[in-house]
């Protein structure tokens, strides 16, 4: 099973330097986050992608996915970046683009849901032409905030290229039952983000610093035969990202249980 790290945690580092550091720690994959200054879609020309692929190959790193959320971006900027991201993903030899919904506006939530159905239908049609799947990730405070919200959206859109990314910290914050979420998403669960969380505060902590039972997470994923990537997702202000990624790697291996990454225990 591939163990990766999200590059958004290294937003203040040159992307090549972050790839070298992650390889040195022991990660075997990365999620390339297009919010990183070096990975903005408009800057990822064919030649630049080739440079980065050579760096990835040289460090022995595979790409678990490309992601772009852009929750703070204006709608048209976000749409433009997502459209460009669809072309970027296959250039990297990947087939998965992770994104999320817009911020929830309670007074017009139902209208937002309908808007997202239309948008995801359009996005998935364009993605299918490029051999790309769209993995939506539920997040607190967004239109799609829970696993149940995502399942309803997938039923409404009914497109095979719409799949699921589950963030364990986010699921904990919105009180999703992890075992139920994993079972319900089943074969459409293609990506898992790992971090800890405490209470209902939206944060990403090191494994072991919060309420998440990582053995339960492991057992739930094993029960459905999940073989996708496990991607550690941490970014803490004031922390050196290289040190944080190192501590996250060690904490994950300790909390995941016997057998190590992907192990049955």
Segment 127-179, tens digit of pLDDT: 999 999 999 999 999 999 999 999 999 999 999 999 999 999 999 999 999 99
pLDDT tens-digit series, residues 7-17: 999 999 999 99
pTM: 0.94
Which residue matches tokens 């996005």? 123
Confidence of residue 73 (pLDDT cuts 50, 70, 90): confident
**CA-wise closest residue to 142 among 235, 71, 233:** 71
**Could you say which of 3.90.1150.10, 3.30.420.40, 3.20.20.150, 3.30.310.50 is the CATH number of the domain covering 3-256?**
3.20.20.150
C-beta atoms surrounding 262 within 10 Å: 15
Q: What 3-state class would DSSP assign to 41?
A: helix
CA-wise closest residue to 84 among 50, 132, 52, 121: 132
């Amino acid at each position: 099973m591939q163990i990766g790290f999200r590059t958004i945690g290294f937003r203040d580092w040159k992307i090549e330097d972050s790839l070298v550091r992650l390889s040195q720690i022991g990660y075997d994959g990365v999620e390339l986050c297009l919010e990183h200054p070096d990975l903005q879609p408009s800057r990822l020309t064919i030649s630049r992608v080739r440079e980065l692929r050579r760096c990835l190959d040289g460090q022995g790193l595979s790409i678990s996915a490309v992601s772009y959320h852009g929750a703070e971006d204006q709608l048209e900027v976000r749409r433009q970046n997502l459209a460009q991201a669809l072309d970027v993903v296959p250039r990297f030899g990947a087939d998965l683009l992770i994104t999320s919904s817009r911020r929830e506006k309670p007074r017009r939530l139902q209208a937002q849901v309908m808007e997202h159905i239309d948008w995801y239908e359009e996005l998935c049609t364009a993605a299918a032409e490029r051999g790309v799947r769209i993995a939506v990730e539920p997040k607190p405070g967004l239109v799609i905030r829970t696993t149940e919200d995502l399942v309803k959206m997938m039923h409404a859109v009914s497109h095979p290229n719409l799949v699921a990314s589950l963030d364990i910290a986010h699921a904990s914050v919105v009180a999703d039952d992890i075992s139920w979420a994993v079972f319900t998403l089943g074969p459409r669960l293609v990506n898992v983000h790992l971090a800890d969380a405490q209470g209902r505060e939206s944060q990403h902590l090191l494994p072991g610093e919060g309420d998440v039972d990582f053995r339960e997470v492991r057992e739930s994923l094993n029960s459905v035969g999940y073989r996708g990537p496990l991607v550690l997702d941490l970014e803490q202000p004031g922390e050196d990202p290289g040190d944080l990624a190192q501590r996250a790697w060690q904490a994950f291996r300790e909390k995941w249980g016997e057998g190590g990454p992907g192990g049955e225990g």
